Structure 1
Amino acid sequence: IDMIGEWVFKRACADIGQFPGRRISINVSGEQLKRDEIVTMCDRILRETGRSASEFIIEITETVATAATPEILRRLEALRGLGFDIALDDFGTGHCGFNYLKTLPIDCVKIDRSYIRSLAHDQVAQIFVSALAQIARIQDITIVAEGVETSEEFTLARAAGCSRFQGYFFGKPAPRDKTSALCAADKQSLALSA
């Protein structure tokens, strides 16, 4: 996984220049975070490529967050110290409670699609997303609604307090060349901000 992670980050550093004003999110596994090499590798590649950590977001899953040891937290802090933002992905799928928002070194929480899909008819989902958005706002954490596929989901997620959105409603995965052309033609962010 370390070799794959290094390849992915090198590829992202090579590709980011094709997306001016955008950022690339990179998933980092729990296994990678068990070793200090993740920090030294990221620092080394940034220096080798001349890229800035602020061009990237490191995403960790809720499973990684709930199993975070003091050493993993130290590595996440070190990555933030390099300039990366840290995002907690798929929030709400596991056992990660609101208290993790106070203890984890994160800048962004991505709410799992299952909650976004349920906003129209599930009061628990509505309260969950609204409460999370309020807590995040107080702590200066960005909230992303994942998997927005319809205008209704976008409207409801925005009304619940989400500040960023991703999903097929805005665009589907595409090859790098097509995405690069889209970014060049459209100066507005693909991840809409409220």
Structure 2
Amino acid sequence: MIAVQRDSMLVLLICLTLVGLGLVMIYSSSSVLANVRFGDSGFFLKRQSIRVFIGLVLMLAFSRMPLHWWARLSRPIVLLALLSLLLVLAWGHGAAQRWLSIPAWGGALAFQPAEFAKLALVLYLADVLVRKRDELHDFSRGFVPRLLVVGFALVLIVLQPDLGTAIALGLIALIMLWVGGMRLYHLAGAGLLALLGIGFSLMHSSYKMRRLISF
């Protein structure tokens, strides 16, 4: 228990450090523009600080929820995430059709379903790795269902298009499944399929290819 608490505090410290660095970078990169447009060099910093405060409050509230609640909610949450990824393809907006707006008090609330899908899939896989740990070595019962869920989400994200988020989420899923005990050659096969999909996506998008070459 002491080791778990120590690890949790370490993760919390890392997160808070990254958030703090992010706030510093936001102020550093936006203070001049904010002063010109709004007469307040800290305009964007204040807006982001409010979001950070809301996020910390939600984090504290969610951390108080029993783990078995999250286990029960993991499947409805991942289904909701997949539904939002489908909806953004039909009604999404933005340069790459990644944002979805929902009616809210005083206007509309815009969010990126791909970001929600990251949290949903991590929660879903964490639940599966515990609940189905005796089936993880089995190809049809352990590997294929996970591949279908994760693969479906990745395809929907690529179609937005958002290849970078899809790659990041795919790597997270592979690492979680490997740490959870899934057979390495099953994961290697999934990784090969992912590489073929990435290559296909790059071949059919000159913009993505130019970005890759310039990187």
TM range, smaller chain:
0.3 to 0.5
- The structure where strand makes up a greater share of residues is 1
- The structure where helix makes up a greater share of residues is 2
Q: Which has the larger radius of gyration?
A: 2
TM-score normalised by length of structure 1: 0.33
